[in-house]
Structure 1
Amino acid sequence: MGENRVVRTFGPFVPVILLWWIIAELEVFPSAFFVGPGTVFEKFDELIAKGILPAYLGDSLERLFYGVLFGMLIGVPAGFIVAMSAWARKLTWPLLMFFQAIADIAWLPIVIVWFGFSLTAVTFVIVYTIVFPLMISIVSGVEQVPRDVVRAARSLGAGRLQVFTEVILPGALPAVATGIRTGLGYGWRALIAAEIIVGTSGVGFLMFDSRRAQEVTGVFVGMIVLGVLWFALDALVLAPFERRTIERWGMIRTAEAGR
């Protein structure tokens, strides 16, 4: 069972790496623009030995942590306020749609003017990217809670707070988990874009600095680190969190489907 899971997880990468190696060996592209896996892995070891890659990766993860933390602190309560209040929904929904449509990278020029090349600038972009998808997911989750269940709880004497904590919140938690997972994905891409443009360290800056030095190997290293790190984060943390949340708190939809 464990071997099958390993094959399913890593098997698709084998032909990709093989194709990558063949293209490099045949020199389809000049070596200044395209290098093979062996060269990239040597560069990877070199950057680790010099301490550059661990330091840059630590900086990226720190920025992501602060961006996600503040994004959730803003997005979760704001999402429930919009979902639970009719007037808040009417007032803010057009704004949500408007700002959701503006890409995070579009904010970078004005953010640089406001905050300079700083951690605050990068954090602002990540928070902006996370907040709106999270709020929209929460609103969608609250809307999916059956109104009959809410009315039944109220008819049994439950107050507004009790209805929220015992009916609406559990019913919306699967959507919250999905929103967090989606928001983190957006935030991760926003982090790299911000580091490329305004960063002075981090994996995105490593890629940009390598490009500036015409060292394509460093760009390949950065791309692989980004992919592997996100794959591990999603597979080991986010996907299990979303799955367990749905299994634990998705009982409203399950009960409704069994009628």
Structure 2
Amino acid sequence: MPRRILVNPVVRTLGPFVPVVLLWWLLAELDVFPGAFFVGPDTVVGEFAELMRKGVLPGYLSDSLTRLMYGVGFGLLIGLPLGFAIAMSFWARRLTWPLLLFFQAIADIAWLPIVIVWFGFSLTAVTFVIVYTIVFPLVLGIVAGVEQVPRELIRAARSLGAGRLRVFLEVIVPGALPSLASGIRTGLGYGWRALVAAEIIVGTSGVGFMMFDARRVGDVAEVFLGMIVLGVLWYATDALVLAPFERATVERWGLVRQAEAGK
């Protein structure tokens, strides 16, 4: 019976949060911290209901998700072809690898001052930061994935008469998919955090802006609510979309079975 409860998806998902919420509630009830700086779960739930009733939270969520979709769309459009173009050329890898590592090391938030100068407080500025954050993990993941494709498979395909395009589409792309899936998952995680940072600094709406504006007026409950909303949204996206995609891709191309066989 206990084992059956533990494998229940609802229990496995929500169970780890129960002690955290209880500790949070206990700290608030005992007034360990002043009420002006720390509020309990009941206050945050009340704030959630109020913002939903006024339509404020749905509007901010819609703005944040719209910006994220723009950033992800342009990030994939740039990162996918760029990644494969670099990965397929030895000289392109040699020439661009130092640049990739250099720009990968520059945090997205470091671009915000110059982005504000270029684009002002606009959707373009936020989109630029998200795209920048997504592209480099994606490109690095593709390059790593292509390098992991066994050369024997490529030579075998060519010996059977496959042309360069067919080898690329039927051997190299499928072989790189596991690393590509991991790169997309990592890039979107970075992009989500970049969105929040950009909204806090350059945004005029969105969940990040809501939290920053609440901090300005001293509404701690709204700040807590914003953090919870961000965590829940990303957890749901990762658990329902990105993790299954990555897992299915890895299992489809046999890397899990190979790893298990090698143990």
Range into which the TM-score falls when normalised by the shorter chain: over 0.9
Residue 200 of structure 1 aligns to a residue whose secondary structure is: coil
Judge conservation of contact 1:105–1:193 (CA < 8 Å) in 2: yes
Does 2:65 align with 1:81? no
Does 2:38 align with 1:34? yes
Identical residues among aligned pairs (%): 74
Judge conservation of contact 1:195–1:204 (CA < 8 Å) in 2: yes
Residue 8 of structure 2 aligns to a residue whose secondary structure is: helix
Residue 207 of structure 1 aligns to a residue whose secondary structure is: helix
Distance 1:27 1:251 in 2: 54
Q: What's the offset of the Cα at 1:17?
A: 0.1
Does 2:221 align with 1:220? no
Q: What's the offset of the Cα at 1:251?
A: 3.5
Aligned twin of 1:141: 145
Aligned twin of 1:123: 127
Residue 62 of structure 1 aligns to a residue whose secondary structure is: helix
Does 2:254 align with 1:251? yes
Correspondence for 2:29 among 11, 25, 28: 25
Aligned twin of 1:162: 166
Aligned twin of 2:115: 111
Q: Bigger CA drift: 8-17 or 154-163?
A: 154-163
Change (3 A) 1:256 1:8: closer
Output the amino acid matched with 1:251.
Answer: G
Change (3 A) 1:220 1:85: same
Distance 1:78 1:153 in 2: 24
Output the amino acid matched with 1:84.
Answer: M
TM-score of the aligned structures, taking structure 1 as reference length: 0.96
User: C-alpha offsets along residues 132-184 of structure 1, whole Å, 9 cap, x if unaligned?
Assistant: 00000001111111111111111111111111011000111111111111100
User: C-alpha offsets along residues 58-81 of structure 1, whole Å, 9 cap, x if unaligned?
Assistant: 000000000000000000110011
Judge conservation of contact 1:58–1:202 (CA < 8 Å) in 2: yes
Q: What's the offset of the Cα at 1:87?
A: 1.4
Residue 195 of structure 1 aligns to a residue whose secondary structure is: helix
Correspondence for 1:100 among 88, 94, 104: 104
Distance 2:204 2:44 in 1: 23
Change (3 A) 1:252 1:182: closer
Distance 1:163 1:258 in 2: 27
Residue 35 of structure 1 aligns to a residue whose secondary structure is: coil
Structure 2 alignment gaps of length 5 or more: none
Judge conservation of contact 1:145–1:252 (CA < 8 Å) in 2: no
Change (3 A) 1:18 1:168: same
Output the amino acid matched with 1:247.
Answer: E
TM-score of the aligned structures, taking structure 2 as reference length: 0.95
User: C-alpha offsets along residues 93-149 of structure 1, whole Å, 9 cap, x if unaligned?
Assistant: 111000000000000000000000000000000000000000000011111111111
Distance 1:188 1:102 in 2: 16
1:61-72 pair list within 5 angstroms: 61-72=65-76
Q: How many residues align?
A: 258
User: C-alpha offsets along residues 177-198 of structure 1, whole Å, 9 cap, x if unaligned?
Assistant: 1111110000000000000000
Output the amino acid matched with 1:61.
Answer: L
Judge conservation of contact 2:250–2:256 (CA < 8 Å) in 1: no
